[in-house]
Amino acid sequence: MKKISKKVNNNTTNVLLLTVIVVIILMISSFYIIKELNIVNYYKLESRIDDLAKAKKEDPKDEEYVTEGWLKVQGTNIDYPVIYGPNYDFSYKTDNFVWTEALYDDLNNITYISGHNILNLSINPTIADKDHTRFEQLMSFTYLDFVKDNKYIQYSLNGKEYIFKIFAVSYPDNDDLDLFNEKEYTSKEMKSYIKNALDESIYDFDIDVNEKDKVISLVTCTRMYGYDKSFKVDARLVRNGEKITNYGVQENDNYKELENVMKGGNVDESKA
């Protein structure tokens, strides 16, 4: 009887051990499944090709402007057609589109897109205010907590969807912006642009970027440092085979300098 009892105990132990092993395997498998789902769902691509085609049909017949593309920025209400208008005065209020100063037949290696910031010029800008239109919500990228959860830009052009990963957020001098450029940058020019963007960025992002990448640059006005600077978000095109994941970001010394400015109070936006 003792032998039978010992055998039963051994079998019970083996069953329990096997159960524990199966549970561990299932937990590990679930972890990787969830991780993979997070990779896929971190940024959900919602095509704007049909919206772009509709916007193009609504372009004025006098060629005052043409609809070039469609821009969508994660975490914001920036979800607008991108207009090119050599005869259009963009100094006026624009509620339902942003613009580019250059006409691109295809995706350029640097694509500049501008938009107005009229209501969010404080040195303590608000985050994702639903009442802000145009490029006001771009200022949300001033804050690390927002950037941690929002790192992707979608651009629709010529029937194709392009996804970009943010690699720099900065306050460049207005004179350093090359908004009217229509040509492809040379390799040397790309290296210089990327270096400047990284050097001026208030964050360090855990992704690499090089002169072979295509870059999209979103620019708007700010009064953070007075009237001589702009606010800029740079992102590079997702590479072939690269997954859309959440990647690391941290503040750097430039952000510490910005924090000192932000402690100085608000500017009078009525004079902006």
Tens digit of each residue's pLDDT (9 = 90 or more) over 193-208:
999 999 999 999 999 9
Q: What is the mean pLDDT of the chain?
A: 84
List the beta bridge partners of residue 73: 153
| Structural contact between residues 136 and 118, judged by C-beta atoms closer than 8 angstroms | yes
Q: What is the pLDDT of residues 60-78, one digit of tens each?
A: 887 788 999 999 999 999 9
Task: Tell me the domain boundaries of the chain.
Answer: 1-41, 49-262
pLDDT(4) > 70? no
Helix, strand, coil share of the chain (percent; to 5):
35, 25, 45
Provide the whole-model pTM. 0.81
Quote the CA–CA distance of 84 and 63 in Å, as a whole number.
10
Contact 67, 55 (CB under 8 A): yes
What 3-state DSSP class applies to 167? Answer: strand
> DSSP code of 139?
G
Among the listed residues 194, 148, 142, the one whose alpha carbon sits nearest the alpha carbon of residue 171 = 142
**CATH superfamily assigned to domain 49-262:** Sortase (2.40.260.10)
Tokens of 255: 């952000």
pLDDT at position 270, please? 36
One-letter identity of residue 51: D
Alpha carbon distances (Å) from 211 to 127, 188, 208: 32, 8, 11
